[in-house]
Amino acid sequence: MPIKPMTTHTGVALIALLGAVAVLYFAREVLVPVALAIMMAFLLAPMVGQVERWGANREIAVTLTALVVFSFIGLLLYVVAHQFMGLIEDLPSYRDNLLGKIRAISGGAGTTGLERGVETVKELTDELQRSAPNSTPAAADVSKVQIVQPPPNFAQVVRTVLGPLLAPVATAAIVLVFSVFMLIQREDLRDRLVRLLGANEMHTTVTALDDAAQRVSRYLLMQSLINGIQGTLVAAGLYALGVPDAMLWGALTFVLRFIPYLGPVLAAAGPIALAIAFFPGWGEPLMVAGLIVTLELISNNVLEPRLYGSSVGVSSFALIVAAVFWTWLWGTAGLFLATPLTVCLAVMGKYIPQLSFLGVMLTDQAVLAPSERFYQRLLANDTDEAEDLIDEALAARPLVEVCDTVLMPALRFIEQDHERGAITTERRDELITLVGELIDQLPDTVALGQTEATAGQADSATALQMTVLVLPAADHADELAAQLMVHALPSAEFKATALAVTLKGEMLEQVASNAPDAICISATPPSALIHARYLCKKMRARFPELPIVVGLWDAQGDLQKTTERLVAVGAAKVVGSAAEALRELTQLRQPLVQGVVARADEAQGVDAVKEAA
């Protein structure tokens, strides 16, 4: 089918999306502090609520919570800065140890390639400096002039020292103020946001906001707890191993693990590199690496699943792309905000129809039903993966459910696409042949289990097989559906046979010769509905007492009129799935079982009388 050209609505949406990205980029100086404040408010909201439950009013609860949290952040920054400066001062002392390990790795013979390269560059530089005066003899008579800068005044010192800190401090102050006001007036802000987003659809808007708030708040709170545990254990472990500046690496572990996927790697690289530079041997660096890897495995496989689950509702690939996008858009702040911002976008895609594409792109939920994935693999002629999908479904669900959720819908997709001209008749036949080959490999359902109501029934009753003929209404797709129905019926309770597609008169004769207890007409919508009605009418006229169940497999829409028409021509029951057909046939089997039980009881009574006589 040709690809439809882009409509005006799609073009407007694309322009609006590009405009939104442009606004986010050019207004980042304002939006980044606001976004950080919102995330901080999400993080602190549960703590504020807990303090309020202890009896404090809103203002006191917010003040106490903000004071504790921001004091902790300030202390953390002080520790990081102090130990980082100490690390910078100690780096030259690690030079000899590093060079020794480089020589050991290279085999210990002479200098390494890196060192030889450095020496070559140094020799070339010295040669150029020596040759420069010879090329310009007059330069030798020129006196050297040295410009001496006056000592800086107090204003220059303050500007040099505090200048680089002004922007981060200003951002931190804005975040603090915004967070406090958002927490104090969160109900008022929520009401205004509801009004802005859509008061007419209040239920959807409130649900979306609550969903986003709960996801982000829980993620930030639990991630902070996990990072705190991880950072504390890393600091304690590094201190026990004798690694310098252990608190620095613990604090960086706490901060960097907020970065998706890349954060733990960055947090591990620092202490491992320092251990290699600090310790003379390789045992301690290997112990440091083992400590960090062990703690990461515990966090990823024990703490995260227990505290908030291994997922925040966003796919791994989407989270990586989002991290790159937000980093490009907002720099380092975007890297830390990537996960909560992406979660919010995924929630918007879930509840706002115009943004549903975000839900498809970002969420970790399957976007295709099992039947759609199966049909997609059929269209691609990928029978191996189609077979794998069936095997996965059979491992999780019984065969009758697999028929209803995977195979029957796939047959309907084939018929629908053929009906609307999306596939040719030849292609339709090819797809049906593929499905037939997969159906031939399906196992038979052996037994339903304990389906009888009476525990004391005779063995002959439980072994009774009800004879069922499954008749295709029109074509090969209906025949395949009939074969599926035969596979779904438990062989211990039913002796089921699927007839091949043939003339209606020949089908009548086959039914007469087999004398079944019931028949089931197999029809795959949409094309087989008329044929099913015609066949049902013929069967009822020929066999007025025979129960007829009509299966309109995976039929969509309102089937009330279709059901009434089928019942009018003799159908005892109209069903839409193999599970419903199985229930109806099981009910039809009950009188046969009860008759066998009654005859068995009567025979036992006669035998008892004879024995007594």
- Coil/strand/helix, residue 345: helix
Please tell me the predicted confidence (pLDDT) of residue 291.
92
What percentage of residues in the chain have a pLDDT greater than 90? 10
pLDDT over 90 (residue 236) = yes
Query: 466-472 and 494-498 as β-strands: parallel, antiparallel, unpaired?
Result: parallel
Render pLDDT for 95-142 as a digit per residue (tens, 0 to 9): 777 777 777 776 544 445 555 655 655 565 565 556 555 444 444 455
Residue 607, pLDDT score: 54
State how far the alpha carbon of 488 is from the alpha carbons of 401, 585, 593, in Å: 9, 12, 20
Supply the pLDDT for residue 139: 46
Residues in contact with 469: Cβ distance below 8 Å, sequence separation at least 6, in sequence order: 496, 497, 498, 499, 510, 511, 514, 516, 518, 519, 520
pLDDT band with cut points at 50, 70 and 90 for residue 42 = confident
SS3 467: strand
Q: Which of 134-138, 200-204, 500-504 has the lowest mean pLDDT?
A: 134-138
What's the one-letter identity of residue 595?
A: G
DSSP 32-100: HHHHHHHHHHHHHHHHHHHHHHTT--HHHHHHHHHHHHHHHHHHHHHHHHHHHHHHHHHGGGGHHHHHH
What span, in angstroms and rounded, lies between the C-alpha atoms of 253 and 453? Answer: 62
Which of 68-77, 319-328, 424-433, 450-459 shows the lowest mean pLDDT across its residues? Answer: 450-459
Cα atoms in the 13 Å half-sphere on the side-chain side of 488: 28
Among candidate residues 517, 497, 499, the one with its CA nearest the CA of residue 596: 517
Q: What is the DSSP letter of 200?
A: T
Mean residue pLDDT of the chain comes to: 80
CB neighbours (10 Å) of residue 335? 20
| 558 contacts 510 by C-beta, under 8 angstroms | no
Sheet of 548-552: strands edge to edge?
Answer: 494-498, 466-472, 518-523, 548-552, 573-575
Helix (H, G, I), strand (E, B) or coil at 551: strand
Q: How far apart are CA 493 and CA 464, in angstroms?
A: 6
DSSP code at position 407 = I
The dihedrals phi and psi of 472, each to the nearest 5 degrees, come to: -70, 135
Least confident of 103-112, 298-307, 379-388, 495-504: 103-112
Cα 144 to Cα 125, 131, 139, 147, 427, distances in angstroms: 21, 18, 10, 10, 89
Pair of tokens at residue 343: 């979660």
Identify the three-state secondary structure at position 309.
coil
Residues 6+ away with beta carbon under 8 Å from 359:
346, 349, 350
Q: Residue 578, SS3?
A: helix
Is pTM beyond 0.75? Reply is: no
Q: Under a CB-based contact definition with an 8 Å cutoff, are residues 371 and 363 in contact?
A: no
Q: At what angle do helices 370-379 and 383-396 cross, to 10 degrees?
A: 160
CA distances 340 to 115, 258, 343, 460, Å, are: 46, 10, 5, 64
- Model pLDDT for residues 413-422, shown as the tens digit of each residue: 998 888 888 8
Between 172 and 520, name the one with better pLDDT.
Answer: 520
Rg (CA), the chain: 38
Integer angstrom CA distances of residue 118 from 6, 152, 413, 601: 59, 37, 69, 103
3-state SS string for 497-535: EECCCCCHHHHHHHHHHHCCCEEEEEECCCCCHHHHHHH
Task: List Cα–Cα distances, 70 to 74, 180, 258, 603, in angstroms.
Answer: 6, 11, 17, 88
